[in-house]
Amino acid sequence: MKNQILIFAILFFMACNTSNKEQNSLVKTKNQTKLIEKHHLKLNGDLMTPEVLWSFGRISGAEISPDKTKVLFGVSYYSIPENKGNRELFVIDIDGSDLMQLTNTPESEANAVWKPDGSKIGFLSSRSGSLQMWEMNPDGSNPIQISAIEGGITGFKYSPDMKKVVFTKEVKVGKDIHDIYPDLDKANAMIATDLMYRHWDERVTTYSHIFVADYDGNSLKNMKDIMEGEPYHSPLKPFGGMEQINWSPDSKNVAYTSRKLIGKAYAFSTNSDIYIYDVTTGKQYNLTKGMEGYDVAPVYSPDGKKIAWESMERDGYEADKNRIFIYDFETKEKKDYTQDFDQNASSLVWDDNNTIFFSSDWHARYQIYELNTENEKIRVVTKGDHNCYSAIPAGDKLIVTKQSMSKPTELYAVDKKTGKETQITFENKEILDQLSMGKVEERWITTTDGKKMLTWVIYPPHFDPNKKYPTLLYCQGGPQSSVSQFFSYRWNFQIMAANGYIVVAPNRRGLPSFGQAWNEQISGDYGGQNMKDYLSAIDALAKEAFVDKNRLGAVGASYGGFSIYWLAGHHNKRFKTFIAHDGIFNLEAMYLETEEMWFVDWDLGGPYWNKNNKTAQRSYANSPHRFVDKWDTPIMVIHGGKDYRIVDSQGMSAFNAAVIRGIPAKFLYFPEENHWVLHPQNGVLWQREFFKWLDKWLK
């Protein structure tokens, strides 16, 4: 009955609500109705459920047409019965009218970009088997395959003069086990003699390389691997994309990001650089030689006289301040334009030759900022309780991707001068209109050392101040990743609230957007001040009349999982249950099991056998596994089998320790998941087990 009500409401909306700006919902409504039928979508009255959460369309990859009149973007939809996702492409006018769906295929389309003259849209599709470059007319008609490259490609960009294409693909460098022993064709093994033999969730058997090819409008020819024979990646794995590779406006050069180190050196360093490749001569040089931290995502100014990129100063510190550096090709000067800006900067885009727009987080909200390179002043453009992750100039407006704790990503047109915004996509309006969201409140709580800490409090929908509610302390991962206005499809605060829980989410020490000093305090102090911050937050809320201090729980993943394991040995009876996902349990084992050694080397202070290093010894003395004798509270442990950042033995060890100690425990194991949970049915299972455990001990 609830399914029929939901579908009827959507169809009613289609029939009655046909204003220009909201007509763009109609195409997607048809898609979502089909998905709802597939999912057997379950509503719990007007409350969020796991099935509803996985029914949201997820917007990504906005691109402005060359004439600045249209926005190209993709929407990912997920089918729970089919246990997979599918991404379709859409185009819409920048004022929010005339939405058009361009693709409708069983294969996902990705990397959709406008051809520089606007005559075609290029995209990646696996329609022919492997992932290849395709083109279609701007209305989605006449799709044709452009590339036919063995093994497929992973990304591409047109040169501005449309005579060439730069693309990326996986290549094998060196010999594998079958090259060494060709008679053992069914052997499944690898031989390693150095570090970084696996990364994130895969064994390192290939490298992402950049190719430049001639393009005649129909095919790619004369392909050249500009990194031929090199055991290096571009873009950087695991999260780098085509934003790390860009053409110069005159089509003569390609700027790209790479960390040209191997093995142990690669594992201990974050020193990536920006390289400039001359398409005509084949020569290249390192633009950022001598700059020791991350240097990524180069973007040329419209006249090609300057290039900007994101830069971190210190080698080995992945959470260093992300600065805006600009190089002037005429004066040969490199300059940091964010010296007096105590915030991070990302997603840089030039508007004109003197203006850059970028995204930055401050007080747990991402906003769009403008940098004037002439007077070196920075001003904030957007305001509000939201996360604006990227902006693309379009005349006097910016096309911005925006989300909040209560609303998944949509596209907005923002006035460059005033910051006034107009929503132009309504991808999830039909679902959101039927849901009641909990109130999100900002509180500033005093910590044990007298500082003020921003803490989000999320209330259940239909909150009754006369009732007492079970309450969850949310522990953030990272560890340097702010509890901002993100809309998560796993750690979703609104679904926790919809299940009758108050959520307390503190921006404890070690999180960005409160200045670099606040962010850096956590390094070398695991189990220190940030844990006191957690307890300050939950203790402050436990004093409220509507919080049942006898029904408190704590949950978290990654460093948040470490926090759970640590709190389990130090909480002094505050909590009635814990849930830890992909958490660090044994810091000594973690140091030797993880792949990106720079992380543990910086944050823990070095190896545990260095007895003279006081920082390292303090870190390992605070390892949660040392306090299992103090554990006395039911705990659920979740871990992924392909998590090579924090390997699954960490979760198994914690679970085994709890069982041996006689503590009620549950272990939820996903053999095919990595540090996240990416498959729809696993995601729904995660949510069901998560709340089943909490309800058992807190309700």
Q: Tell me the per-residue pLDDT of 324-348, one tens digit each, with 9 for 90 and over.
A: 999 999 999 999 999 999 999 999 9
Q: What is the pLDDT of residue 42?
A: 57
Compute how many other C-beta atoms are within 10 angstroms of the C-beta atom of residue 194. Answer: 11
Residue that has been written with the tokens 């605060």 in this structure:
493
CA dist 477 and 557 (Å) reads 6
Digit-coded pLDDT (tens) for 659-678: 999 999 999 999 999 999 99
Identify the active-site residue in 258, 643, 648, 653.
643
pLDDT interval class at 428 (50, 70, 90): very high
pLDDT interval class at 44 (50, 70, 90): confident
Digit-coded pLDDT (tens) for 372-416: 999 999 999 999 999 999 999 999 999 999 999 999 999 999 999
Q: What percent of the chain has pLDDT over 90?
A: 93
State how beta strands 346-350 and 245-247 pair: unpaired
Identify the active-site residue in 386, 639, 675, 679.
675
For the whole model, what pTM was predicted?
0.94
Q: What is the pLDDT of residue 6?
A: 33
End-to-end CA distance of the chain: 28
Q: Residue 366: which residues within 8 A CB-CB, separation 6 or more?
A: 359, 360, 386, 387, 388, 389, 484, 485
Q: What is the pLDDT of residue 45?
A: 83
Identify the active-site residue in 558, 563, 619, 653.
558
Asked if pLDDT for residue 32 goes beyond 70, the answer is no
Whether 675 sits among the annotated catalytic residues: the reply is: yes
Q: How much helix, strand and coil, in percent to the nearest 5, is found in the chain?
A: 20, 30, 45
Digit-coded pLDDT (tens) for 91-119: 999 999 999 999 999 999 999 999 999 99
φ/ψ of residue 356, rounded to 5: -125, 135
In the chain the domains, ranked by start, together with CATH numbers, are 440-698 (3.40.50.1820)
Helices 25-39 and 2-16, axial angle in degrees (round to 10): 170
Nearest to 51 by CA among 523, 497, 378, 495: 495
